[in-house]
Amino acid sequence: MKIVVIGGTGLIGSKLVTKLGEHGHEAVAASPNTGVNTLTGEGLAEVLEGAQVVIDVSNSPSFEPAAVLNFFETSTGNLLAAEVAAGVGHHVALSIVGTERMPENGYFRAKIAQEQLIEKSGIPFSLVHATQFYEFVRGIADEATDGDTVRIAPVLFQPMAGDDVAAAVGRVATVTPLNGRIEVAGPEQSRMDEFFRQALAAWGDPREVVTDPHARYFGSELEERSLVPLDGATLGEIRYRDWAAQHASGR
């Protein structure tokens, strides 16, 4: 089937296009780099012609609260309207585990607004809520850095590999729409401060990880289960230590 991947040249999108193609689907990468702009509507009608499924893994270029809200509301609105006109039968969107648990987080509020537009669109849909990606672990550490220390809350943490995220989204996209959500996470759950203490040690990073119950995660104070899925989540297969070893060796 023809599956259009919005954000198809990014981290998850490029993996999706490859995986879907390997399974015999016509996977089309759609992004500003390929002449498709969901903010302006440019190229949407053309790329969606004949598409059965649309997967949206696009992201805002700015994380400033007003800008990210505008991005997801505008791009999703344009995309859904074009899908209705094209007769698309399944809209799949990648979101984040715990969006509804941190309403003070501007990025999460924007993702909730995106999901509400999808739910009200009338198009059969599936929402995939994923935990943090291994590829973003260093960025999380940098965001939490205060001088020579990395302040991390002692809460539960269950990140996953981008390849596992793409595999989960691809599976959902090729079956009957959920008209609801599924949660996906990594195969191992640990305390976030301990995870980063071990990760920085493995990197040879001299920063000290400080356990701080009030440490903020991109502006939000965390509770014990803010970042991990509820019972029944689909778990990935790739363990962090294996992923880190592969990337350290350049493979």
User: Domains in the chain, start-ordered, CATH in brackets?
Assistant: 2-248 (3.40.50.720)
Phi, then psi, of 54 in degrees rounded to 5: -120, 130
Task: Check pLDDT > 90 for residue 1.
Answer: yes
pLDDT tens digit sequence for 167-225:
999 999 999 999 999 999 999 999 999 999 999 999 999 999 999 999 999 888 999 99
At 250 the pLDDT is 46
pTM passes above 0.85: yes
Question: How many residues are present in the chain?
Answer: 251
| β-pair partners for 183 | 129
Cβ atoms within 10 Å, residue 170 = 24
pLDDT at 89: 98
